[in-house]
């Protein structure tokens, strides 16, 4: 057993849960696949991250199973606590967290821009002035 196992921090679990809620599952899986495919070589002998199934939303857990498909993680069941843990390559988990944070930030920025574009433009009311009796019309 690898002694260098890091538990998922509260901020990381919130980020994964937010990604599961805000991103489509296919988009989330694409980010994971990109992260692993273009990241460092996979090693399960080095530091690992422990992600408990109950700490993240079901959509995030489902997407995180991509780590198993790539050979960058494996699931361990805890019979006593009736839960499962994903043990995944820490380098890839950290990289994934950065990519998810960037994607969510970019998506929220786009939403703000879209809201700005969707606002109705309200022009101020302009009072038309009356012509003076001595003015001439041009044209």
Considering only residues 49 and 134, tell me which one the structure prediction assigns the higher pLDDT. 49
Question: What pTM value is reported for the model?
Answer: 0.73
pLDDT above 70 coverage of the chain, percent: 76
- Please tell me the predicted confidence (pLDDT) of residue 105: 87
Dihedral sign for Cα 84, 32, 57, 27, please.
negative
Cα–Cα distance measured from residue 36 to residue 112, given in angstroms and rounded to the nearest whole number: 30
Catalogue all structural domains in the chain, each as residue range(s) with its CATH number.
5-118 (1.10.10)
Q: Which of 46-60, 86-100, 113-127 has the lowest mean pLDDT?
A: 113-127
Contact 11, 93 (CB under 8 A): no
In this structure, what token pair is assigned to residue 80?
């006593």
pLDDT at 125 over 80: no
């Amino acid at each position: 057993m690898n002694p260098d196992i890091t538990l998922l921090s509260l901020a990381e679990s919130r980020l994964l849960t937010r990604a599961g809620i805000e991103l489509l599952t296919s988009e989330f899986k694409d980010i994971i696949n990109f992260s692993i495919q273009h990241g460092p070589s996979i090693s399960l002998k080095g530091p690992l991250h422990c992600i408990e199934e109950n700490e993240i939303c079901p959509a995030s857990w489902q997407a995180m199973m991509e780590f198993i498909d790539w050979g960058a993680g494996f699931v361990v069941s805890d019979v006593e606590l009736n839960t499962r843990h994903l043990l995944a390559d820490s380098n890839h988990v950290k990289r994934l967290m950065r990519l998810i944070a960037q994607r969510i930030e970019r998506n929220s920025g786009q939403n703000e821009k879209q809201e700005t574009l969707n606002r109705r433009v309200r022009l101020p009311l302009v009072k038309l002035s009356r012509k003076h009796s001595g003015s001439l019309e041009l044209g």
